[in-house]
Amino acid sequence: MAAKIISGKEVAAQIREELKKEVGELKDRHDVVPGLVTILVGEDPASVSYVTAKQKTSHDLSFHSIQDNQPADISEEHLLQLIDKYNKDPKIHGILVQLPLPKHINEKKVLNAIDPDKDVDGFHPVNVGRLMIGGEEVKFLPCTPAGIQELIVRSGYRTEGAEVVVVGRSNIVGKPIANIMLQKATGANSTVTVVHTRTKGMASHCKRADILIVAAGVPGLVKPEWIKPGACVIDVGVNRVGEKISEKTGKKVAILKGDVDFETAKEIAGAITPVPGGVGPMTITMLMKNTVRAAKIAAGVK
């Protein structure tokens, strides 16, 4: 039987509706409006489009949102001063610096300057540490891994006691999602294995997975025979494998493929995310969720 297709677009839309309600309640009951600033340095077209999408979503959710555009030659010192200004601004609950930054700026230094309680991207070492400790300590989950967890939970898969296998150990996807699924918490409590390029017998690890999360960046890496029948397969990979002319716009667009051979995998898996349209649409929505959480924490609202 063909797998259920998990639509990230639909789940993201559902979460945004829930957030709208939460934002309304925050305003009505506590006079709090979540505030998000996105800082863009330079005019890299991909960065401009990411920041524009983030700003559009935060406007749609009635956030107090600021897009702060800075020239490519801004000094590191000036950028750090700007972050300090937003760290102290009580109307701003989330600060996002769009990466990459120009070469003359130390990215790590800039990201580490963000107040961890406004780090809605969830990558500040303090938030990485909080996730490692778990429980009440956790403030913000990094957005893509948090989106992956939502997709699994909302597709009805039981995570407690499930064998979760994560392909990839990057700091932005593999390690944090492994850590999230390992938490002693609802939507987690899984038995987690992480595999990577030095793993022996990749296929046999993957074949054990009730939930298989693939974030390797290798198109078609996971073969259908690596998948346990009925498993939930989350394909995080986004690989440009060519170009085509869009029927909608008539313009050249990239052909995207995931890390899983979707056509064959969907005949074996119980549920699977497509690429595009799976994990991708979740990331910005989870950024918004983190911003609402930051506003609630700042206001002392449960």
Q: Does position 184 bind ligand NAP by CB under 6 A?
A: no
Q: Which of 173, 213, 265, 287 binds ligand NAP (CB under 6 A)?
A: 173
CA 145/CA 207 separation, integer angstroms:
22
DSSP of 74-98: --HHHHHHHHHHHHH-TT--EEEEP
Q: Does position 197 bind ligand NAP by CB under 6 A?
A: yes
Q: Which of 165, 215, 227, 233 binds ligand NAP (CB under 6 A)?
A: 215
CB 272, min distance to ligand NAP, A: 15
Which value, in Å, is the radius of gyration of the alpha carbons in the chain?
A: 20
Residue 226 three-state SS: helix
Q: Which is nearer to ligand NAP, 197 or 249 (CB)?
A: 197
CA 81/CA 139 separation, integer angstroms:
25
Listed in order, strand segments (DSSP E) in the chain are 4-5, 35-41, 64-70, 94-97, 163-167, 191-195, 211-214, 232-235, 239-245, 252-257, 271-272
Residue 224 three-state SS: helix
80-119: contacts with ligand NAP (CB under 6 A): none
Site string for ligand NAP, 125-164 (x = CB under 6 A): -------------------x--------------------
CB 89, min distance to ligand NAP, A: 28
Q: Which is nearer to ligand NAP, 65 or 285 (CB)?
A: 285
Q: Which is nearer to ligand NAP, 123 or 157 (CB)?
A: 123
Residue 183 a catalytic site member:
no
How many other β-carbons are positioned within 10 Å of the β-carbon of residue 2?
9
How many other β-carbons are positioned within 10 Å of the β-carbon of residue 109?
12
Residue 98 a catalytic site member:
yes
Tokens (6 digits) for 4: 């259920």
Tokens (6 digits) for 265: 């995998």
231-290: contacts with ligand NAP (CB under 6 A): 236-239, 279-280, 283
Tokens (6 digits) for 34: 């979540």
Q: Which of 15, 79, 162, 167 binds ligand NAP (CB under 6 A)?
A: 167
Residue 54 a catalytic site member:
yes
Q: Which of 42, 217, 224, 277 binds ligand NAP (CB under 6 A)?
A: 217
Tokens (6 digits) for 117: 């309680």
CB 150, min distance to ligand NAP, A: 13
Choice among 121, 210, 235, 261 that is catalytic: 121
Q: Binding residues for ligand NAP, per CB under 6 A?
A: 144, 167-170, 172-174, 195-198, 202, 215-218, 221, 236-239, 279-280, 283
Q: Which residues are catalytic?
A: 54, 98, 121
